A and B are shown apart, each in its own frame.
Chain A
Amino acid sequence: MKKTGPDRPRPPGIPTISPAKSLPKCPTGIQGLDEITSGGLPRGRPTLVCGGAGCGKTLLAAEFLVRGAMTFREPGVLMSFEETEPELRANVASLGFDLPGLEKAKMILLEHVHIERSEIHETGEYDLEGLFVRLNYAIDSIGAKRVVLDTLEALFAGIPNEAILRAELRRLFRWLKDKGVTTVITAERGREQLTRHGLEEYVSDCVILLDHRINDQIATRHLRVVKYRGAMHGTNEFPFLIGDGGLSVLPITSLGLNHGVSNERIATGIPRLDAMLGGKGFFRGSSILLTGTPGTGKTIVATNFAQAAARRGERVLFFSFEESPAQIIRNMHSIGLRLAPLVKRGLLRFHSARPSLCGLEMHLATMFREIATFKPDVVIIDPITSLMDSGTNSETKGMITRLIDYLKGCQITSLFTSLTQAGHVMQQSEAAMSSLMDAWLLLQDFEGNGERNRVFYVLKARGMAHSNQIREFLISERGIDIVDAYIGASGVLTGSARAAQDSLEKAARLASQLEADQLKREVERKRAALERQISALRADYETEARELRRIAEQVGTQTRLLSDERTELGRLRQADAAVAPRGQKLNRPKRRTGTL
């Protein structure tokens, strides 16, 4: 989970298999099996598949043929010693394979070998040339590259002379190798040896063991490659699943920590949370753990994340182990999340299952299959703890590691919710899981003042600056709101305590606001009074000025009249025209009130 730069050398201890050196492989096309065997079964050689009743031997063998025919265009012969052709067709049809169609296309040939002990009487020496001839004829008639012999051990019940039979089996395997066909031989699991009749003695190239175990009333199928001559293979037991699309083996051999990383950041759908994570959200392809006690809103955060991703056009796969899809959609609708349209557009997909439906391996196998088919950008598992409860302690961590590694390898962002008991913030399971996680958000209850409030903080976020603050987490019909919790002398205040603190502050603010307003009004009043005074003064002045102008005019007119009169008089007296004296403007106003 450490970031690996492109220049970082490959971690030591991981051998590389160069294709040139290894044996030619025949891909089975079975999901996961080719990864375990690094490429498939040994080409042109026989492989023994053994296991108890109901392990899926025949189905594995049949799928090997069907996939071979459908995917790799290699015709195959299925020689069955137990089931008749119609039975085989019906059984394989349950996996969704169209055997009759492939038979018609000459890609698959079914041959039932009927052996009935009660009909057979031994009368001397013989060999199994009849069987060879039939097999040869079947192979040649469709040019088969793959052969399945489904339970060869039926021969042991039908052929009385075991010495002859063993000699002939040895010859048969030799002959199959010479023929160059890739063969799968199924056999019943024996008590002390791999097979009941020791067939492993003859088939020494590749042996696959299937197992069906019951643990705590939950049955799980396992597959193990016991032996693979000349090739590296995963030696562990891998759980596998028989579903409606065939077999799938949980393959993810997490050998190394060398997946690529992305620098892209994706938003969480909660703006405040993004802000807490350096303003951008999580890294794409990172794994996020969301722990919380019951009712702290884990699913809501997860669904928010899902909605945000789907709205960006990313594909989201939501595994729910507590609620049915319809229930999640209804519940999330109440807080303003509209999921139904996203489901309809195929961007959001729910997969709900009861944790107790099957074992952990089975759940994981189903999940791998879902992920492989849906190809999501974001995977949400709600909650992972119920999955962990369904397995034993030792295997769960390995399983979760595999799942996380797989998701990281595919650059899928994963969000896991984890339920913790009240009072125990961190449980053993989380401590174990946390090392696998890139980011860890903690949702917590805060009790006090007769109420219960939710707080929320980022416990860790690898590779990004993140807030260390505790935030209060509110859920309303508009969705999630993250608000600052009040942190003061009396500690962290949330809920109504925070609200009370808020209103106290608000009252103080209001008081000072009022005071300020009053002052403002006072100033305003003063200014208005002054204004009024000024306009009164101006009005006074205006009247006075007008009066003065009128007087001046009057005086002027009188003077003119007077001078006119005098001129007239002078003219009458024959006097010289005299210029009117200048000193007439004696009545100038003395006081000059400046303009305002």
Chain B
Amino acid sequence: MKAAKSKPARPARAQSPPVAAPPRQRLRLYVAGATERSRRAILRARRLCDTELRGNYDLQVIDVYQQPILARNGQIVATPTLVREFPKPVVRLIGNLTKSAGLFVGLGWNSKD
């Protein structure tokens, strides 16, 4: 079963983008099973991406139970893990995305807290 969900870019031209248009980010979220924790992680990931990246991203959600081979290929150890595959360097955010400090540092975003 394909769990990949691609969000089409939502036009958010109302706000002026940064000086150079940032490249489209490619993200993958690995979760383990359709648990409450997984569900919440997926929701948080989407919301964050929408607010921070203003839709300029591709997010793929992978259930490692369904596709263990992808867990291997993606070198996943912990779940949930959000991997930013592009732009480089690869960043792995492990955890349910509740601690925004680590999240923002990891993705190089400016913390708004």
* Residues of A contacting B21 in the complex (Cβ-Cβ under 8 angstroms): none
| Stretch from B7-15, B53-61, B69-77 that touches the partner | B69-77
A123 touches B71 (CB 8 A): no
A123 touches B32 (CB 8 A): no
Knowing A133-B64, A133-B65, the reply to whether A124 touches B77 (Cβ < 8 A) is no
The B1-59 residues at the A interface (CB cut-off 8 A) are 30, 32-33, 37
B78 touches A124 (CB 8 A): no
The B65-87 residues at the A interface (CB cut-off 8 A) are 65, 68-69, 71-72, 75-82
Smallest beta-carbon distance B83→chain A, Å? 9
A133 touches B68 (CB 8 A): yes
The A75-95 residues at the B interface (CB cut-off 8 A) are none
B105 touches A121 (CB 8 A): yes
A124 touches B69 (CB 8 A): no
- Please, how many angstroms separate the alpha-carbon atoms of A155 and B103 in the complex? 21
Knowing A130-B78, A133-B32, the reply to whether A123 touches B103 (Cβ < 8 A) is yes
- Please, how many angstroms separate the alpha-carbon atoms of A122 and B95 in the complex? 6
The A117-155 residues at the B interface (CB cut-off 8 A) are 119-131, 133-134, 136-138, 155
Knowing A121-B91, A123-B94, A124-B96, the reply to whether A130 touches B76 (Cβ < 8 A) is yes
* Residues of A contacting B98 in the complex (Cβ-Cβ under 8 angstroms): 123-125
Answer whether residue A114 sits at the interface, using C-beta atoms and an 8 A cutoff: yes
Apart from A113-B77, A122-B94, A124-B95: 6 A-B pairs, beta carbons within 8 A: A121-B102, A121-B103, A126-B96, A129-B33, A131-B77, A134-B64
- Please, how many angstroms separate the alpha-carbon atoms of A426 and B105 in the complex? 78
Knowing A119-B90, A121-B102, the reply to whether A137 touches B95 (Cβ < 8 A) is no
- Please, how many angstroms separate the alpha-carbon atoms of A127 and B94 in the complex? 9
* Residues of B contacting A113 in the complex (Cβ-Cβ under 8 angstroms): 75, 77
Knowing A126-B79, A133-B32, the reply to whether A121 touches B92 (Cβ < 8 A) is yes
B93 touches A125 (CB 8 A): no
Taking chain A's interface residues, is the majority helix, strand, or loop, or is none over half, making it mixed?
A: mixed
Q: Closest residue of chain B to A81, judged by CB?
A: B77
Question: Which of B33, B79, B94 touches A121 (beta carbons < 8 Å)?
Answer: B94
- Please, how many angstroms separate the alpha-carbon atoms of A423 and B69 in the complex? 76
- Please, how many angstroms separate the alpha-carbon atoms of A130 and B92 in the complex? 13
Q: Closest residue of chain A to B32, judged by CB?
A: A129
Q: Closest residue of chain A to B64, judged by CB?
A: A133
Number of chain B interface residues as a range: 20 to 34
Q: Which of B64, B65, B80, B95 has the most CB of A within 10 A?
A: B95
Of the A-B pairs whose beta carbons lie under 8 Å apart in the complex, a sample of 9, sorted by A's number, is A121-B93, A123-B96, A126-B80, A126-B81, A129-B32, A130-B78, A133-B32, A133-B65, A134-B71
Answer whether residue A74 sits at the interface, using C-beta atoms and an 8 A cutoff: no
* Residues of A contacting B72 in the complex (Cβ-Cβ under 8 angstroms): 111, 134, 137-138
* Residues of A contacting B90 in the complex (Cβ-Cβ under 8 angstroms): 119
Could you tell me how many residues of chain A have their Cβ less than 8 Å away from some Cβ of chain B? 25
B97 touches A123 (CB 8 A): yes
- Please, how many angstroms separate the alpha-carbon atoms of A155 and B95 in the complex? 16
Q: Which of A120, A126, A127, A137 has the most CB of B within 10 A?
A: A126
Question: Which of A125, A134, A137, A138 touches B96 (beta carbons < 8 Å)?
Answer: A125
Smallest beta-carbon distance A392→chain B, Å? 46
The A133-186 residues at the B interface (CB cut-off 8 A) are 133-134, 136-138, 155, 158-159
Q: Closest residue of chain A to B81, judged by CB?
A: A130
Answer whether residue A510 sits at the interface, using C-beta atoms and an 8 A cutoff: no
B93 touches A128 (CB 8 A): no
Question: Which of A115, A123, A125, A136 touches B77 (beta carbons < 8 Å)?
Answer: A115
Q: Which of A120, A126, A128, A133 has the most CB of B within 10 A?
A: A133
- Please, how many angstroms separate the alpha-carbon atoms of A131 and B75 in the complex? 9
Answer whether residue B112 sits at the interface, using C-beta atoms and an 8 A cutoff: no
* Residues of A contacting B69 in the complex (Cβ-Cβ under 8 angstroms): 137
Q: Closest residue of chain A to B78, judged by CB?
A: A126
- Please, how many angstroms separate the alpha-carbon atoms of A119 and B92 in the complex? 6
A120 touches B64 (CB 8 A): no
B75 touches A114 (CB 8 A): yes
* Residues of B contacting A158 in the complex (Cβ-Cβ under 8 angstroms): 77
Knowing A123-B97, A124-B95, the reply to whether A130 touches B79 (Cβ < 8 A) is yes
A124 touches B97 (CB 8 A): yes
- Please, how many angstroms separate the alpha-carbon atoms of A127 and B31 in the complex? 10
A129 touches B106 (CB 8 A): no
